[in-house]
Amino acid sequence: MPVRTPKIAKETAIRFSVTIALILVLSALGLTYEIAAGRVLAPYFGTSLLTWTTVIATVLGGFSLGSALGGIVAERPRDVALRNVRGALVATAVLMAASPTLLSMVYAWGARGTGGMFFSVLIVFFPASVLVTLTSPLLAKLAMEARPGREGSSLGFVLAAGSVGAIFGAILAGFVTLPLIGSTATFAACGVIALLCLPWVRGGAAGDTGVTLAAAGFVGFAGLAGSPACQYESGLSCLTVVQRGDAVQLVSDGTMQAAEQRTPAQGSDGTVGLALDYTQWLWDRMDRDLGSDASVLFVGGGGYTLPTKLLATRPQSHATAVEIDPLVTDVVRRHMPRAADMIAQTGYDASQDGADGRLGIIHADGRIYLNETDQRFDAVVMDAFSSGSVPAHLVTREAFARLRDIVDGPVYVNLLDRPDGPLARGVNAILKEIYPQVQAVQGEVYASGRANILFAASLQPLTPLDSLPDGYGATRISDARAFTDDRGWVGHR
């Protein structure tokens, strides 16, 4: 009696190696999309533990739902299942490419604060996360059917391909696409990759060619004509330079990080005055506390305005600026003339042995530098920000204890927080544990409800300033638990 070929064998048109490759590519696509989502969110809602937790939870939730729905699709007749999968890939491409535009629209409609951030992430990133994973169950089923009797090893290869693809996607986004082409182009590239998978998903009824071509045109348009999320972008920063009146401002992830005055009358020291009130208070404090040949560490380069002021007014002084992102320094060189001149005249790479100059620049994480340096300083200015707040590992008891080991004089700290907010209380508790003299002042409260809260801490008495910038005054900060590396600041929202 002739052996009848199973119907399923006739329907399977995708080789095992192709299914594994598709699973790997789509897994990489999903992780690239997830990391790009966290990056493009920063200009609108900042970067914090809360934003990343929301993005990761939302995207993983989408992956889970997509896998469940994909399992239902995989049980349908083969031609219907393949048509559904191809449709999901087309929709994935469109939604991924459109993500930056959708996010800006939701933000323009009034999404703000924690609730607005949750809503934005859910509306913008959840649908594509569902659709990109909807294909996986059918591909896994095809992979096991392609090797009858070897289902166990086939499933193992499927799972391994998914994991390897996720690893590759994370590396690709963090080290290649986001730093080199930016978030908007990364989303468009995700859409292109989704469409390129279509020819490999063969079999069943043909899809609507017109819809596919329209999707390809939209993705191409989004990549070429879409507005970049940032004027300058790296894997760490989303920077925009804004000219307002006589000041040039450096905005990072939606928060103004630095400003330099260009045209006002020069002071007797030959330098243009500081444009931001908080930097004026820090400078007044430094000017009162430090000697003519002070060596000052700046954790957070920003606009390099304070190092520039120090070196211009004290020809015997030295500054070391630790800035995590080389792009920030490059943008300052391009757009902030006074700081750029100081960097050009006195700057040097302080990470190189034997280098000489008065302004040492180190591109590294501030905490890593503190842990590794053997240099000593007369004072330190802690003015490092990630989006709208201070990186948690720079405001712990252990970090300030290390500062006490390498800094002989005062410690100056700039924070953004609500009046008597949790960040200010935690930092105040740390400083009071380590230093007998602590002063705190607060500036005007912004529309966001936050204000600059500035600290000066010292082993020696701090002489009161003759005057304070407009809107600044002494502030009372309540007692609280000191942050530690184990239980630290979780980020402002």
Q: What distance in Å separates the CA atoms of residue 114 and residue 48, rounded to the nearest whole number?
A: 11
CA atoms within 13 A on the CB side of 354: 0
pTM: 0.79
Q: What distance in Å separates the CA atoms of residue 450 and residue 416, rounded to the nearest whole number?
A: 6
Low-confidence ranges of the chain (pLDDT < 70): 1-13, 203-208, 210-211, 218, 221-228, 262-273, 387-388, 491-493
H or E element that contains 473: strand 473-474
235 in helix, strand or coil?
A: coil
Beta sheet of 255-261, edge-to-edge order: 232-233, 238-244, 247-252, 255-261
- Strand ranges in 127-185 using DSSP code E only, listed in sequence order: none
Residue 92 neighbours by CB distance under 10 Å = 31
Provide the token pair at 400: 């300030």
Q: What distance in Å separates the CA atoms of residue 392 and residue 491, rounded to the nearest whole number?
A: 7
Q: What distance in Å separates the CA atoms of residue 120 and residue 93, rounded to the nearest whole number?
A: 19
3-state helix/strand/coil string of 41-74: HHHHHCCCHHHHHHHHHHHHHHHHHHHHHHHHHH
Q: What distance in Å separates the CA atoms of residue 289 and residue 376, rounded to the nearest whole number?
A: 17
Q: What distance in Å separates the CA atoms of residue 274 and residue 279, rounded to the nearest whole number?
A: 7
What pLDDT, on a 0 to 100 scale, did the predictor assign at position 227? 64
* pLDDT tens per residue across span 209-238: 766 777 777 677 666 666 667 778 777 778
Residue of 490, 459, 485, 489 whose CA lies nearest to 398: 485
User: Which amino acid appears at position 18 of this protein?
Assistant: V
Using only C-alpha atoms, the chain has a radius of gyration, in whole angstroms, of: 27
Q: What distance in Å separates the CA atoms of residue 90 and residue 84, rounded to the nearest whole number?
A: 10
